[in-house]
Structure 1
Amino acid sequence: MRGKKKVNDFGSDPIPLLVLKISVPFMFAQFVNVLYSIVDRIYIGNIPVIGADSLAGAGVCAPIITLLSSFGALIGIGGSVLFSIRLGAGDKKGAERILGNSFSLLLVFSLCLTFLFLAVKSWLLRWFGASEVTFAYANTYLTIYTLGTFFALVSMGMNYFITAQGFPMLGMATTLIGAVLNIVLDPVFIFGLDMNIAGAAVATVIAQMGSCLFVLATLHGKKMLIPIRIMKPERMIAKQVVKIGFSPFLILATDSVIIIALNAVLQYYGGEEMGDTLITAATIVQSYMLLVTAPMLGVTSGSQPLISFNYGANKPERIRKTVACVLGLCIGFTVLMFGIARILPMYFVRIFTSNAEYQQLAVWGIGVFMLMIVPLSFQYVFVDALTALGMTRLSLSLSLVRKMIYLAATCILPLFFTAKTAFYAEPISDLTAAVLSSSVFFFIYRKYLRGAGRLKDIKI
């Protein structure tokens, strides 16, 4: 790659050092990225008089925002995995075509999704659990956010290619820029300009614009081995990108379904008396959960270019070492976050609300959600490793099983108990998925590494 030794050599540098250099910045970047939603929710929850209802409205928007973001992962992860395999195989022209096609696909997706979501947003919000009280706040937030879809998708999707070229610190800078802008602008627009929840959405869009401009400038820079440029989408490459990216896309998209189901169940079984209260508490609980799952996803997805590169270079031993190092990192992180959830949850909850009822319910919910968070790290590591190896059908199946268990438990538990027992769907699905993913990975992936169905044989 261009430049001096500042570029990480995926094929020869020590694996533990590479994992730390690549996954930790990606982990930190995802942690910072969570601040987009959490900072918004903190400020929204503290708006005088309407804070609680506005927070519930933002919570209803969460699955739609997750769904929009999943399209960035579809192209970003799918393209960067193929891109890394081509680099590992020494095919720079093939890598350049994949990068250019991925960028063009993101432009097309962002345009189509903006118009589509603006057209159906009212229907989506009603379906996702917005009440007569919270609909106006949710509609305002979502309308403004959707107008910034281009910035969100391009900054997220193209950032994967910065890390794939050996520059994880620049990838981290992308999200840092957005998060800092969001933190600074939120109080200005929400309180200073008295825009309330609309101000939170405007601040987020401006922050994403900043990240987007940085990503594009970086990929045009001289440091990049493969610079970005627009290409006319090629059907074969687009098909391969979507095929590889479909697994992480569906994983994120079905996260939306889970949030939708939880909000709808809480609203239905909680009724007029407790429905909005339960959704508000669930929004706070999910914010803490994001502080765990987003950085963990950063570690596992950040390691994917390293796995894919060595897969293309036919170095299975380096792949095994990478998976082991990433797993150790994730286990250590989840143990830490589990301990914090047991000792200090009240301090986190108080940032969002001063209402004693909301606080008590949210603290209880965090404790429930975190019961099986350590086993969940196995599922994250193994599913993303299988995706990086091209085993998309298998990784997708494992992810969907977890979501199906979650969805079933969310709907069934309140039938026999109270509405808030829907929270237990999280630990039930986490444990089941961890056992299943671990079993499948250890029985299958070694045989696969020996050459069955290798992606390097794909023609582009």
Structure 2
Amino acid sequence: MQREDNFTFLTEEPIPKVIGTMAVPTIISMLISNLYNIVDTYFVGQIDTQATAAVGIVFSLMFFIQAFSFFFGNGSGNYISRQLGARNRESAEQMASTALGYTLIFSIVLVVLGLLFLDEISVILGSTPTILPYTRQYLGFSLLGTPFLMCTLCMNNQMRFQGYARYSMYGIIVGALLNCMLDPLFIFGLDMGIRGAAIATVIGQIVGFAVMFRMSLHKDIIHYTPRNFSHRWLFVKEIIAGGTPSISRQGLASIATIALNVSASQFGDAAIAAMSIVNRIVMFIFSVIIGLGQGYQPMCGFSYGARHYERVKAGFWFCVKVGTAFLLFWSVVLFAFSDRAIGLFRNDVDVISIGIPALRYQLLSFPFWSFMIMANMMMQTCRKTLQANILAASRQGLFFIPLILVLPHCFGLLGVEICQACSDFVSLLVTIPIVFSAFREMHV
């Protein structure tokens, strides 16, 4: 009865109620998940500028790891939601275990390669000679939590696409809160420095995985079992089709962050630290919009699978309006208090002077993010793979990477600070025609 009620809820109940119910847990999950990086940046920022920069440098690789977590989680989750919407539960169950198995295998490979080439990776990520010792410590320990992090995020997304966003957030919350409590203890209490921040994060990830797996045992949620693991090409194809937009979106964001760190390094460690802090602040706000979009996706998937296309469109515009209002509010607040926002993480005159204009330029494109993110998620959920990949790649890939290579040569440090805003405006021009073209293809 519960499964039927969930189908009815997602395909028939009022859209604000459905998206609100689905989005609140995912927004909380995204905010809490971002606390890993916010808290590490805050406490490590009390050490020195080089340690702060190291956390920002490692963040680009962690973002890359998260991208593959979402590749498997979103790729399988999109398929699961469509299959449940079409009343085909058996296929959905096989997909869930198959994707989690691939996630575990891939994560172990990443850990081995990361530890074997630790110094080389640290330099590629943008470490300067003065930052490298910190990066080596922080990254070396952080990699050990990769299998737990990736499996947790995969399960989180699969549960969310089933319509059980509330259960999916528990593992994320518990792990992040534990990390917040352990950070000051390990960094200062046990005098472990930046290494303590990494260890606290790994412990949080292990506990978070345990809680997430416990949530998956709920009677109405698809359970994981080795006998459902399959090598069928159908499942691999669906994971690739539904997951590549996540790689395009977050994988290219990781590459963009690396390119940003390398460009900023020309202007000193303070520039790397400043851009790292700006990214933390922006990503924390951005996570709310991601969470809102993730709350829309289960309804979008079920409704698309049930051929309720007008509901797909109405849900899209509802999320765009709510997200835009939220971003406009924070644009005004952060513009007015840019100095305090940057100074909260690192009270360094050079860092603050670089961070203020960088943050304010990014705020100029804030109001358009909701439209672009909802468009990307709708395309991904409706299995419009080409359009989804174009949208996912545009903001921090197709446009940002070329711009970050060119603008600093033309405008110096200003080129680094304005790069993301310029990329966002060009991405918006690409997004508009793709969205309305997709709407025209949806016929009742």
TM-score normalised over the length of structure 1:
0.92
Gaps of at least 5 residues in structure 2 are: none
| Residue of structure 1 equivalent to 2:142 | 145
Q: Match of 2:407, as an amino acid?
A: L
Q: For residues 138 and 240 of structure 2, what CA distance do their matches in structure 1 show?
A: 30
Change (3 A) 1:239 1:4: closer
How far does residue 223 in structure 1 lie from its aligned partner after superposition? Answer: 3.8
CA deviation profile, 1:410-437 (whole Å, cap 9, x unmatched): 1111212222421211111111111220
CA deviation profile, 1:27-82 (whole Å, cap 9, x unmatched): 222112111001001000102xxx21111111111111111111100000011100
- Decide which of 208, 213, 216 is 2:210's aligned counterpart: 213
Q: For residues 29 and 94 of structure 1, what CA distance do their matches in structure 2 show?
A: 27
Q: For residues 330 and 439 of structure 1, what CA distance do their matches in structure 2 show?
A: 20
The answer to whether 1:54 aligns with 2:51 is yes
Q: Is this contact kept in 2: 1:103–1:229, CA < 8 A?
A: no
| Residue of structure 2 equivalent to 1:245 | 243
- Decide which of 339, 344, 365 is 1:346's aligned counterpart: 339
- Decide which of 61, 73, 77 is 2:74's aligned counterpart: 77
The answer to whether 1:424 aligns with 2:418 is yes
How far does residue 276 in structure 1 lie from its aligned partner after superposition? Answer: 0.8
The answer to whether 1:228 aligns with 2:224 is yes
Q: For residues 2 and 401 of structure 1, what CA distance do their matches in structure 2 show?
A: 40
The answer to whether 1:116 aligns with 2:109 is no
Q: For residues 414 and 106 of structure 2, what CA distance do their matches in structure 1 show?
A: 37
SS in 2 for 1:10: helix
Q: Is this contact kept in 2: 1:303–1:322, CA < 8 A?
A: yes
Q: For residues 273 and 290 of structure 2, what CA distance do their matches in structure 1 show?
A: 25
State the Cα RMSD in Å: 1.8
| Residue of structure 2 equivalent to 1:14 | 14
| Residue of structure 2 equivalent to 1:294 | 287
Q: Is this contact kept in 1: 2:28–2:169, CA < 8 A?
A: yes
| Residue of structure 1 equivalent to 2:161 | 164
Q: Is this contact kept in 2: 1:398–1:436, CA < 8 A?
A: yes
How far does residue 344 in structure 1 lie from its aligned partner after superposition? Answer: 2.0
Q: For residues 3 and 307 of structure 2, what CA distance do their matches in structure 1 show?
A: 25
How far does residue 4 in structure 1 lie from its aligned partner after superposition? Answer: 10
Q: Is this contact kept in 2: 1:27–1:294, CA < 8 A?
A: yes
| Residue of structure 2 equivalent to 1:440 | 434
SS in 2 for 1:90: coil
Deviates further, 157-166 or 229-238: 229-238
SS in 2 for 1:148: helix
Gaps of at least 5 residues in structure 1 are: 452-460
How far does residue 107 in structure 1 lie from its aligned partner after superposition? Answer: 1.4
* Pairing of 1:167-178 with structure 2 (within 5 A): 167-178=164-175
CA deviation profile, 1:360-395 (whole Å, cap 9, x unmatched): 221222111211111122111111111111011111
Q: Is this contact kept in 2: 1:152–1:209, CA < 8 A?
A: yes
Q: Match of 1:135, as an amino acid?
A: L
Q: For residues 196 and 173 of structure 2, what CA distance do their matches in structure 1 show?
A: 20
The answer to whether 1:195 aligns with 2:192 is yes
SS in 2 for 1:28: helix
How far does residue 198 in structure 1 lie from its aligned partner after superposition? Answer: 0.5
How far does residue 187 in structure 1 lie from its aligned partner after superposition? Answer: 0.4
Q: Match of 2:250, as an amino acid?
A: L
Q: For residues 110 and 8 of structure 1, what CA distance do their matches in structure 2 show?
A: 36
CA deviation profile, 1:73-94 (whole Å, cap 9, x unmatched): 0000011100000000000111
SS in 1 for 2:321: helix
* Pairing of 1:119-130 with structure 2 (within 5 A): 119-130=116-127
The answer to whether 1:367 aligns with 2:365 is no
Q: Is this contact kept in 1: 2:20–2:295, CA < 8 A?
A: no
Q: Is this contact kept in 1: 2:7–2:85, CA < 8 A?
A: no
How far does residue 5 in structure 1 lie from its aligned partner after superposition? Answer: 6.6
Among the aligned pairs, what percent are the same residue? 24
Q: Match of 2:40, as an amino acid?
A: D
Q: For residues 104 and 300 of structure 2, what CA distance do their matches in structure 1 show?
A: 28
How far does residue 138 in structure 1 lie from its aligned partner after superposition? Answer: 0.4
SS in 1 for 2:399: helix
Q: For residues 251 and 301 of structure 2, what CA distance do their matches in structure 1 show?
A: 23
CA deviation profile, 1:148-179 (whole Å, cap 9, x unmatched): 11111011111012222322222232322122
Q: Match of 1:10, as an amino acid?
A: L
SS in 1 for 2:9: coil
Deviates further, 59-68 or 1-10: 1-10
| Residue of structure 1 equivalent to 2:407 | 413
Q: Is this contact kept in 1: 2:338–2:359, CA < 8 A?
A: yes
Q: Is this contact kept in 2: 1:9–1:166, CA < 8 A?
A: no
Q: For residues 161 and 136 of structure 2, what CA distance do their matches in structure 1 show?
A: 37
Q: For residues 381 and 106 of structure 1, what CA distance do their matches in structure 2 show?
A: 26
- Deviation above 3 Å: which 4+ runs of structure 1? 1-8
How far does residue 8 in structure 1 lie from its aligned partner after superposition? Answer: 7.6
How far does residue 350 in structure 1 lie from its aligned partner after superposition? Answer: 2.2
Equivalent pairs counted in the alignment come to: 441
Q: Match of 2:376, as an amino acid?
A: V
Q: For residues 124 and 136 of structure 1, what CA distance do their matches in structure 2 show?
A: 13
SS in 2 for 1:11: helix
Q: Is this contact kept in 1: 2:50–2:130, CA < 8 A?
A: yes
How far does residue 193 in structure 1 lie from its aligned partner after superposition? Answer: 0.7
The answer to whether 1:41 aligns with 2:41 is yes
Q: Match of 2:133, as an amino acid?
A: A
Q: Is this contact kept in 1: 2:10–2:299, CA < 8 A?
A: yes
Q: Match of 1:250, as an amino acid?
A: S
Q: For residues 242 and 24 of structure 1, what CA distance do their matches in structure 2 show?
A: 28
| Residue of structure 2 equivalent to 1:136 | 133
Q: For residues 20 and 223 of structure 1, what CA distance do their matches in structure 2 show?
A: 21
